[in-house]
Amino acid sequence: MSNLSNTSDEILASARNLIMSGGYNGFSYADISEVVGIRKASIHHHFPSKVDLVRELVKRYREDGQASVVTLEQNVPDELDILKVYANHWAKCIEDASRPYCVCALLASELPSLPPEVATEVTNFFRFISSWLTTVMERGYKSGTLNLTSEPHVEAEAFLATVYGAMLSARAYGKPEVFSTILSPALNRLKLTVSH
Amino acid sequence: MSNLSNTSDEILASARNLIMSGGYNGFSYADISEVVGIRKASIHHHFPSKVDLVRELVKRYREDGQASVVTLEQNVPDELDILKVYANHWAKCIEDASRPYCVCALLASELPSLPPEVATEVTNFFRFISSWLTTVMERGYKSGTLNLTSEPHVEAEAFLATVYGAMLSARAYGKPEVFSTILSPALNRLKLTVSH
DNA sequence: ATCTGTCTACCTTCTAGTAGGCAGATCGTC
DNA sequence: GACGATCTGCCTACTAGAAGGTAGACAGAT
């Protein structure tokens, strides 16, 4: 039956939304139970403990990201375009308030107080994004589509920091448009200035 | 008697450390009571509610920041140097683990789920840092000590995002040195390239 | 006959917060 | 200077509710 996976997906989705707004300690099984419409005890059937639930959530979050990256790289050849699509993805999520913040950004902020199993998954997520961005920078440098001023892995970390910092600022001011305001010049700087 | 202010300062200090690691919902009056060595009920004497405590904490955090900024601007004339001192302050705090994360960055991540009184103070903190950095950028542009490629307020937001994004990455990877790795090129870009 | 998903009912621990008492310091008044 | 009144800071003892989690029953599908 697909009811099983349906309910457990609903649980994960509502947990994701709740974490997105208040972090690991900002939600409870009771909160999920209200959203999904089942009893607390039934959630424990799908995810015995809160650690199990969030660990699985972050693991899937990373896997989904990895799948998206594969699709993105298949469809967009130009490296600058790849970075633009990535930035625009977040710009859209923030501006239409559908996913106004990265689950792993919030969990990473709380890292020292997270259960170790969850913390490990969160670190894995950041390592994945970072190493992916590094490959994009390297490729863009070699093929001459990106204008790098530092080593690829440094440019990758700097770009990631800009995206996540911009996300935080947008939330802090309550102004979604701040994200794009910050990202535009960052992307422009990576564009090759064509000499003509 | 100075006992009063001493204890209430100790309470604020321990709350700050606890929030720095796990956010608003990541600590309790019981946690503070253990650190400070007084009973839970005694904390309520100084701060009737958790909202009162954290609101005061964030307010003072901003006021302390404002005072530091005044001193900094009095002692350091060059705008690029000001930005360097600011970045180095955080680099040092992160690397010696004394204040490995900004209290307001953590609270801003949780903003949608914070009590409104606290949320307002957190937004105020970000507005203060942002408008201060904007004045630094403007001054540096006019006096020709900074190399800006966007409007001052955009450069200010971008710099702030880089600092806070780098802070997050350092925490996410568990590698304090990542902060400086990201900040160095960001500061270099703001340096005027002398034509000779 | 077993497995799956849900339920009710319950448990323990933790949460923020309250009531009220008590010791010591401070203060105005005689 | 002595005397009571008030204020301050802390205490013990308590509360109601929320937290994560468990036990066991039951219906329906396999």
Given an 8 Å threshold on Cβ–Cβ distance, is A161 in contact with B168? Answer: yes
- Quick check: A115 contacting B, CB < 8 Å? no
Sequence length of chain B is 196
Q: What percent of chain B has pLDDT over 70?
A: 96
- Which residue from A36, A41, A49 is spatially nearest to A6, judged by alpha carbons? A36
- At B5 the pLDDT is 59
Q: By the CB < 8 Å criterion, does A67 face chain B?
A: no
Query: Which nucleotide has the least CA–C1' distance to B42?
Result: D10
Q: Are A146 and A159 in contact (CB under 8 A)?
A: no
pLDDT tens-digit series, residues B125-162? 999 999 999 999 999 999 999 999 999 999 999 999 99
Residues in chain A with pLDDT values less than 50: 1-4
> From CA B43, how far away is CA B111, in angstroms rounded?
25
pLDDT higher than threshold 50 for residue B3: no
Domains of chain A, with CATH numbers? 1-48 (1.10.10), 55-190 (1.10.357.10)
At A16-61, the pLDDT tens digits run 999 999 999 999 999 999 999 999 999 999 999 999 999 999 999 9
Contact of B68 with B88, CB cutoff 8 Å? no
Stated in angstroms, how far is B56 CA from D9 C1'? 20
Identify all chain A residues contacting B108, using CB atoms and an 8 Å cutoff.
168, 171-172
The residue written with tokens 């403990």 in the block is: A49
- Check B160 against A165: CB less than 8 A apart: yes
Residue A44: other Cβ atoms inside 10 A? 14
Residues in chain A within 8 Å Cβ distance of B155: 185
Distance CA B19, CA B118 (A): 13
Return positions of chain C under 7 A from a protein CB. 4-10, 14-20, 25-26
Q: With residue B25 as reference, give the H or E element that holds it.
A: none
- pLDDT tens profile B60-75: 999 999 999 999 999 9
Q: What is the pLDDT of residues B16-59, one digit of tens each?
A: 999 999 999 999 999 999 999 999 999 999 999 999 999 999 99
CA of B29 to C1' of D3 (A): 40
A116 touches chain B (CB under 8 A): no
The alpha-carbon gap from B2 to the nearest alpha carbon of chain A, in Å, equals 33
In angstroms, the Cα distances linking A183 to A169, A177, B40 are 12, 10, 46
To which residue do tokens 């919902």 refer? Answer: B25
Q: How far is the CA of A60 from the C1' of C19 (A)?
A: 50
pLDDT of B6: 87
Partner A contacted by B120 (CB < 8 A): no
Spell out which residues of chain B touch residue A165, defining contact as CB-CB under 8 Å: 160-166, 168
Decide if pLDDT at B1 tops 80: no
Q: Which pLDDT belongs to residue A94?
A: 98
What is residue B101's DSSP assignment?
S
Judged on CB neighbours under 10 Å (0-12, 13-18, 19+), A122 is buried
Rounded Cα distance, A11 and A53, in Å:
9
